[in-house]
């Protein structure tokens, strides 16, 4: 017990700032800097794609279609995320009050951080729509399959903010407070060195991981369709984003509504939550689609032709017995009395069938009326 207490004392009562933020790859014309932020985003994309592809395949989607979709969705999402960040935190790019003193060359430098999830989702959906149309599948079906994977990607990608020492909350004395280097550009002015801050990146990461588990459980229980799981994801994420965003102290666009001034992302989260709730309810009132398929109308895979037994038709039913009309066919029938073949001379055709026989059935064969050979002739070629 005493050793456990000593170990607890040795554990630092804070989250340290990272000593490593990337590495350089030497090239003939210089070096290529690989940032920890970019690696976290990439790891999140890989994990999210894996979960999405597994769920997409279970819904009966065509093989390989997930890649046809994400090749459009990911670039659109990155562009949308960057644009949202630029316009929600415009001072560095356009100057305070858009006075033109900013640096526009910073806009494409996403390795410095700054991807807004709302822009990423909106333009990402546009890209996914293009990919779904090309693959012949329904966008709402893909959105449902991708919702938990999207939340998983966000949970992992948030650790990129830790490598960049950015997007933290206010000062705290909690044992999981986040250390920020005092000489870092993101360290708040006027705050004593050594101050700990709320690790909002960690709060959001844990919130998102819990959401992944929740979405998977709810989807297994209720089997959501029509995009309802995606809108449930939007409600869950924005519910956490409101209180996490309110803790942050980094510079952001402030918006005043209803006499309240707060960060743009807070208002955006509230708006998205209300919209997602309304859409979720409306889609639930429409019921389940019939038929429940991931394919667009007219893009379903061709069904294989159904074939019957040899000599049969497409529905597996054999043709009716052919009428034996020539003497050579009759000659092939065994004689009822002794099993031998009749003479080669033709046998007279019966002029009338005995009473009780079926129309169109030869009642006599080789002049023996009522013999059992009649049954053999009428059953020739019939499937049993």
What residue numbers does the annotated binding site cover? 158
DSSP 81-114: HHHHHHHHS-HHHH-GGG-S-S-GGGTT-GGG--
Alpha-carbon Rg of the chain, whole angstroms? 37
Is 158 within 8 Å of 115 (Cβ atoms)? no
Residues 195 and 191: their CA atoms lie apart, in Å, by 7
**To which residue do tokens 């949202």 refer?**
84
Residues 129 and 80: their CA atoms lie apart, in Å, by 15
Residues 377 and 336: their CA atoms lie apart, in Å, by 11
Closest CA to 208 of 144, 155, 264: 155
Q: What is the DSSP letter of 263?
A: E
Residues 56 and 145: their CA atoms lie apart, in Å, by 5
Closest CA to 211 of 229, 227, 199: 229
**In degrees, to the nearest 5, what angle opens at C-alpha 207 toward C-alphas 272 and 205?**
105
* H helix runs in 305-367, sequence order: 327-331
Before 291, cis peptide (omega within 30)?
Answer: yes
| Dihedral angle sign, alpha carbons of residues 259, 263, 268, 273 | negative
Contacts of 13 (CB under 8 A, 6+ apart): 175, 177
Plot region of 228 (φ>0 → left; ψ -120 to 50 → alpha; else → beta):
alpha
């Amino acid at each position: 017990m005493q050793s456990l207490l000593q170990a607890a004392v040795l554990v630092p009562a804070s989250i340290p700032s990272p000593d490593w933020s990337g590495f350089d790859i030497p090239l003939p014309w210089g070096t290529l800097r690989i940032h920890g932020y970019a690696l976290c985003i990439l790891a999140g994309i890989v994990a999210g794609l894996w979960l999405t592809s597994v769920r997409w395949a279970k819904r009966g989607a065509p093989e390989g279609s997930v890649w046809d979709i994400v090749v459009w969705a990911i670039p659109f999402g990155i562009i949308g995320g960057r644009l949202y960040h630029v316009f929600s935190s415009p001072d560095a790019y356009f100057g305070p009050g858009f006075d033109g003193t900013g640096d526009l060359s910073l806009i494409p430098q996403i390795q410095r951080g700054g991807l807004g999830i709302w822009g990423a989702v909106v333009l990402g959906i546009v890209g996914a729509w293009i990919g779904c149309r090309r693959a012949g599948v329904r966008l709402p079906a893909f959105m449902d399959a991708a919702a938990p994977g999207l939340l998983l990607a966000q949970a992992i990608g948030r650790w990129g903010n830790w490598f960049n020492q950015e997007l933290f909350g206010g000062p705290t004395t909690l044992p999981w407070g986040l250390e920020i280097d005092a000489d870092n550009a993101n360290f708040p002015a006027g705050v004593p060195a050594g101050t700990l801050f709320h690790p909002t990146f960690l709060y959001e990461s844990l919130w998102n991981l819990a959401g992944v588990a929740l979405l998977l459980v709810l989807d297994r229980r209720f089997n959501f369709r029509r995009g309802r799981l995606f809108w449930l994801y939007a409600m869950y994420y924005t519910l956490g984003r409101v209180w996490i965003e309110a803790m942050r102290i980094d510079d952001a666009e402030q918006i005043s509504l209803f006499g309240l001034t707060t960060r743009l992302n807070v208002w955006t989260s509230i708006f998205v939550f209300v919209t997602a709730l309304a859409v979720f309810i409306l889609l639930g009132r429409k019921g389940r689609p019939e038929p429940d398929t991931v394919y667009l109308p007219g893009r379903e895979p061709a069904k294989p032709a159904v074939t019957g037994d040899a000599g049969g038709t497409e529905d597996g039913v054999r043709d009716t017995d052919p009428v034996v009309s020539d003497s050579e066919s009759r000659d092939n029938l065994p004689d009822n009395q002794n099993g031998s073949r009749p003479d080669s001379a033709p046998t007279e055709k019966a002029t009338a069938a005995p009473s009780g026989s079926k129309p169109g059935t030869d009642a006599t064969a080789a002049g023996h009326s009522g013999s059992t050979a009649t049954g053999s002739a009428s059953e020739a070629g019939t499937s049993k």
